[in-house]
Amino acid sequence: MLRRIMAPVCAGVFLLATSFTIADAAEVALKTQTALPKHHDLSKSFIALFIEKLNQAGKGVVRIDYIGGPEVTPVDKAAPALQRGVFDILHTPAAYHVGIIPQGMALMATNLTPSEYRANGAIDMLAPHWEKKLNARILGIGETGAQFYLYTVKKPAIKNGVVDLTGFKMRTTGAYRPLLQALNATTVQIPAGEVYTGLERGVVDGFGWPTVGLNALGLGKVTKYRIDPPFYHLANVVLINLDKWKSLPKPAQDILSKVALEYEQASIKYISDAGKADMAGVEKSGVQAFKMDEKGRKKYLELAYDAMWKRAGAKIPPEELKALRAKLYKPE
């Protein structure tokens, strides 16, 4: 009698447990971190155009749980943490891990759009480096609408038609050092958070900065000149742990890939609009554009791109460098 009563109860418990297991397995949750703080324009673009869009498109199949920025895993440890599978997806400037993957410099030294260099096979050439060295797959490359400017507190000189920074102490990172050295500047490495006081105290006479985020930090108040034109292109790579990617069901992979491509395109306008708004605030602070004539402008850009490709060439084999440059850089 007891056996007859317990049988359906046990069966019901089994079915209930099984239904929960199926429901839980149906939607895959991916832990995701940004290398930059959540409030940064670049992170905001990724959150709005990738995370939120993915969570709408992937309902019942795949979702992203945002766990935070560098307060969770510091910038210099984020890529290795992704490699180990501490979290599943990382949004980070490629420049942050060029010590591990120097090919990331090529993504900065491009003057083409992601859709152009996807079409010509450049991504196919680059992807294996991330897979081999970081155990990561490139899902997308975003915010490429952002570029870089050099800013100074005093008026630069012109030499042979091009701006000359002889005698200028310029705050630098790896992104700016090749160009600054080509312009004869003395490079100084200080944290981004110390640039404002460094300018006030004369520790540096200028700095390089992306076309977003300057006004929010108030740097326009202690800066006089913006050297035109902008150069390079920001490249924020969206990386997924390769083991996690391979474990995903095909529908989840398809949704991630589709949303990533849409994000690549949408983020160009998003970040370009953010840059225009930021620049309006900077100019309102009194920052003036320092411009060269057309011949000087072209020479300046050639210097910038050649300097970055030369730097990349110190780490990338010659034949590979030649092939990458042919696919990623189109001379004016």
Report pLDDT digits (tens) over 181-230. 999 999 998 887 899 999 999 999 999 988 887 887 788 889 999 999 99
103 pLDDT higher than 80: yes
pLDDT in tens, 207-216: 998 888 788 7
Look at residue 9 and tell me if it is in a domain.
Answer: no
pLDDT in tens, 68-77: 999 999 988 9
259 pLDDT higher than 70: yes
Looking at the fold, whether 191 and 294 belong to one and the same domain comes out as yes
Rounded to whole angstroms, the Cα distance separating 321 from 319 reads 5
Alpha helices in the chain (DSSP H): 2-26, 41-46, 52-57, 75-84, 104-108, 114-119, 122-134, 177-182, 195-200, 242-247, 250-284, 294-313, 318-328
Rounded to whole angstroms, the Cα distance separating 232 from 224 reads 22
Looking at the fold, whether 62 and 90 belong to one and the same domain comes out as yes
Looking at the fold, whether 161 and 308 belong to one and the same domain comes out as yes
Rounded to whole angstroms, the Cα distance separating 305 from 201 reads 31
Looking at the fold, whether 221 and 318 belong to one and the same domain comes out as yes
Look at residue 22 and tell me if it is in a domain.
Answer: no
Look at residue 12 and tell me if it is in a domain.
Answer: no
Look at residue 3 and tell me if it is in a domain.
Answer: no
9 pLDDT higher than 50: no
Looking at the fold, whether 34 and 111 belong to one and the same domain comes out as yes
pTM score: 0.85
Looking at the fold, whether 117 and 263 belong to one and the same domain comes out as yes
Looking at the fold, whether 247 and 101 belong to one and the same domain comes out as yes
We report the CATH number of the domain holding residue 56 as 3.40.190.170
278 pLDDT higher than 80: yes
Looking at the fold, whether 168 and 267 belong to one and the same domain comes out as no
Look at residue 1 and tell me if it is in a domain.
Answer: no
Q: Of 81-95, 105-119, 231-245, 271-285, where does mean pLDDT reach its minimum?
A: 271-285
Q: What is the mean pLDDT of the chain?
A: 90
Looking at the fold, whether 217 and 107 belong to one and the same domain comes out as no
176 against 158, higher pLDDT: 158
Number of domains in the chain: 2
Rounded to whole angstroms, the Cα distance separating 304 from 138 reads 26
Q: Could you report how far apart the first and last alpha carbons of the chain are, in Å? A: 88
284 pLDDT higher than 80: yes
Report the run of H or E that residue 238 belongs to, with start and end: strand 236-241
The whole domain housing 108 covers 28-145+234-274
Look at residue 54 and tell me if it is in a domain.
Answer: yes
Q: Which residue has the tokens 């600054």?
A: 180
pLDDT in tens, 129-169: 999 999 999 999 999 999 999 999 999 999 999 999 999 99
Phi, psi of 32 (to 5 degrees): -135, 140
Look at residue 246 and tell me if it is in a domain.
Answer: yes
Look at residue 313 and tell me if it is in a domain.
Answer: yes
User: Looking at residues 11-32, what average pLDDT do you find?
Assistant: 60
245 pLDDT higher than 90: yes
Confidence bin at 2 (pLDDT 50/70/90):
very low
Could you give the 3-state DSSP secondary structure of residue 210?
A: strand
Beta bridge partners of 208: 150
Looking at the fold, whether 132 and 242 belong to one and the same domain comes out as yes
- The pLDDT of residue 120 is 96
Nearest Cα to Cα of residue 210 among 163, 143, 162: 143
Cα three-residue angle 149-155-156, rounded to 5 degrees = 70
Rounded to whole angstroms, the Cα distance separating 216 from 45 reads 16
Looking at the fold, whether 33 and 64 belong to one and the same domain comes out as yes
Reported as half-sphere exposure (CB side, CA atoms, 13 A), residue 240 has a value of: 20
- The pLDDT of residue 20 is 39
User: Looking at residues 71-89, what average pLDDT do you find?
Assistant: 95
Looking at the fold, whether 184 and 298 belong to one and the same domain comes out as yes
- The pLDDT of residue 25 is 54
